[in-house]
Structure 1
């Protein structure tokens, strides 16, 4: 759950929400909680490998919609991985200044993806241990930063003002991606002891704890950092706050922690993407063309996933990739939660809470799409292209062979 978005998109979200209280972080956490409820209920009933990919098959059956959405889900996780890799390069700039050219930074991001893809070949236990060590350090550092920050806050000067509803809604959608780590937890069901009990507990504990931590850290950061500083460097607001608190040492320390957080997020998300790809290959009969390309080789799947992520890192800036990732997951989890409504009797889920999840996800998705069209349509255009491309791929490999067989019979 401890992704890198707290370091990379906090400034953009704050400027969009125009609020000195991190209400968008809080609302994003509340919004995602309905999806977590849905996925926790599904995981307790269907503890399948691939997490969300398995839930799509469980709720929609192994047909056209499931195949389409799972290919789109796979690409959604790759987009997220590229977001974290791009964030990594942003903090290389923070720590080294203009030492590396823009192209060299993109190559560094690509190299990070490739190396961590190789780490994933060592198996789920190594990925988990690496994540535990990295996120443990990140967590302790953020708690220490918050404690020092709180001691420097002037209670009389605290500002709790909030901005316009539209800005808050857009910022909430942008920050949604920071909580999608719960899907990473569920994707490792085949590597977890007692997944029916463990995964739902992990989801609930993680999302509640991370909501509290994100709100705390972002509140301290926003209250300490002048708006002029946030506008001048929205990609490293926490670093600016650390510089105010602890001078150059704090600035460097937060930069290193951000690098570690981004690397851990790449490590976990590319693991999940490969698990989702495994579901696409093994669960969908019309994906035989993928089976022929990929075979049963975990290495080949990882390297193909890494290659796609590297292309995204080389081709798109951080802000566009961040919005693309949030839009993709808002749409996907809206689809998953709607599918859950269709089979809620099997999971004993509360239908009202499921409908809340559907409405919230799609509402935030619409706000982000409208904002993207108005401010920078490239991300929306690419997402629409990805959505249509996956639709056409599924159409090509599911219905055209069936039509040909029908022609042969006639």
Structure 2
């Protein structure tokens, strides 16, 4: 059983905070570039996939707990080990998930810098050099430093932080609806002509990284009171709330800031907020509030993801699923070397990548992992814990999203397609070299022996 530190309220805050905490600010511009006025529908589709993946996680967690000696359950790596017995496959899933976390942090850092530059008086460049990459790297370095000092928000603090983030976005959405219905002379565009096309599905695939925060609860089960009951309730509450907020924000932003969506999509929220605030003479103030909220949300998302990714990597070190050089698993807390490696890789991604490329890479990582968990759950459908329909929909959605994501990148962003493909091949090759090292060690002496015989 969990130790009771976190109850349902804290669990909902952690799950909702993990999704709202930076996701909408980072992916909105990328998603609207694909789905346009139907962006709200793309978020709905992504939310359905997330619910199916969450159902699969909950079912696998209950089965894994039943098979074990305690209530600790586990996450993706534990599930693969428990139900397939294949440590190589478990490790590869773990590496993919770890790279997904790195991509998420890089995405948050990119958005943090974009909204920083949108603040009044902040230049976009100095001496002809753009400030965006430097700000992104600095914010990553700052949170790596905080985590090295052992800083972490408590459950009570997370309640407050999440409440503020959610209230700002809900207020923005509701005020935007009032403005669109009673102030604006333009009719509201819902993009109904796009609902039967593939663009919302492709956009849903790109946006999926914004829905991954809920699964972090499975790594904190020892801190949650009655986790087998609390976690499902928290997840099934938090995902629909996140979906509604995303849909509302997308609809308002697209209709109130059409020009910004076209020319400066990453910070279109600021323009939409300024439009709403302008109705009461507070255009600048409203824009600043959204910008500060974005900084707060993306910053806290970096911190929380880095903390969780660090402990996830430590668990993989303990299970010999990462090289020993990546950190010392015997130390208290997250190994310093592990945090530094995560920070350096994230900084490289956010400094040299585009937001669309980073978002696509991170979403692909989570689509692979969550789709695999749905397929794994589908294999356990004969138990009374798991019905077949949700994991089947999740596995199908994951496979379709994966294919459509690559199709979109190949046709619309060829450079991003090749970059993501090269990274994926490099990661897969590194995983095989690491997890099949024992086989290689056995084969190399054999090859050398044959060579010596031929020489004689």
> What do residues 41-86 of structure 1 show as CA deviations (whole Å, max 9, x unaligned)?
2233446587333333333324221112211211111111101111
Q: TM-score, normalised by structure 2?
A: 0.81
Q: Aligned residue for 2:188? A: 158
8 A contact 2:78–2:90 mirrored in 1 = no
Find the aligned partners of 1:129 and 1:123 in 2 and give their Cα distance. Answer: 17
> Secondary structure of 2:436's partner?
helix
Bigger CA radius of gyration? 2
Which of the numbers 99, 106, 123 marks the counterpart of 1:75?
99
Classify 1:403/1:138 alpha carbon distance in 2 versus 1 (closer, same or farther; 3 Å).
closer
Q: Aligned residue for 2:395? A: 358
Find the aligned partners of 1:83 and 1:203 in 2 and give their Cα distance. Answer: 23
Find the aligned partners of 1:263 and 1:128 in 2 and give their Cα distance. Answer: 17
Q: Aligned residue for 1:66? A: 90
Find the aligned partners of 1:321 and 1:88 in 2 and give their Cα distance. Answer: 14
Find the aligned partners of 1:55 and 1:121 in 2 and give their Cα distance. Answer: 30
Q: Aligned residue for 1:41? A: 59
1:121, CA displacement in angstroms?
Answer: 4.5
8 A contact 2:31–2:39 mirrored in 1 = no
Using CA pairs below 8 Å that are at least 6 residues apart, which structure has the higher relative contact order? 1
8 A contact 2:124–2:132 mirrored in 1 = no
Q: Aligned residue for 1:136? A: 163
- Is 1:112 the counterpart of 2:143? The answer is no
1:92, CA displacement in angstroms?
Answer: 1.0
Q: Aligned residue for 2:262? A: 231
Classify 1:127/1:366 alpha carbon distance in 2 versus 1 (closer, same or farther; 3 Å).
farther
8 A contact 1:44–1:200 mirrored in 2 = no
Pairwise mapping of residues 11-410 of structure 1 onto structure 2 (< 5 A)? 11-19=29-37, 22-46=40-64, 48=72, 51-95=75-119, 96-101=121-126, 103-121=130-148, 126=153, 128=155, 131-154=158-181, 157-164=187-194, 165-225=197-257, 227-246=258-277, 247-284=283-320, 287=322, 290-296=323-329, 297=331, 298=334, 299-345=336-382, 348-402=385-439, 404-405=441-442
Find the aligned partners of 2:249 and 2:287 in 1 and give their Cα distance. Answer: 15
8 A contact 1:89–1:106 mirrored in 2 = yes
Classify 1:279/1:336 alpha carbon distance in 2 versus 1 (closer, same or farther; 3 Å).
farther
Classify 1:368/1:48 alpha carbon distance in 2 versus 1 (closer, same or farther; 3 Å).
farther
Q: Which runs of 5+ in 1 are unaligned?
A: none
Find the aligned partners of 1:59 and 1:90 in 2 and give their Cα distance. Answer: 43
1:400, CA displacement in angstroms?
Answer: 3.6
Find the aligned partners of 1:310 and 1:50 in 2 and give their Cα distance. Answer: 29
Say how many residue pairs are matched.
406
Find the aligned partners of 1:163 and 1:15 in 2 and give their Cα distance. Answer: 16
RMSD of aligned C-alpha atoms?
Answer: 2.7
8 A contact 1:48–1:54 mirrored in 2 = no
Deviates more, 1:300-309 or 1:125-134: 125-134
Find the aligned partners of 1:346 and 1:20 in 2 and give their Cα distance. Answer: 38
> Secondary structure of 2:163's partner?
helix
8 A contact 2:190–2:251 mirrored in 1 = no
1:122, CA displacement in angstroms?
Answer: 5.8
Find the aligned partners of 1:406 and 1:320 in 2 and give their Cα distance. Answer: 38
Q: TM-score, normalised by structure 1?
A: 0.90
1:10, CA displacement in angstroms?
Answer: 1.8
Find the aligned partners of 1:382 and 1:132 in 2 and give their Cα distance. Answer: 39
Find the aligned partners of 1:10 and 1:293 in 2 and give their Cα distance. Answer: 34
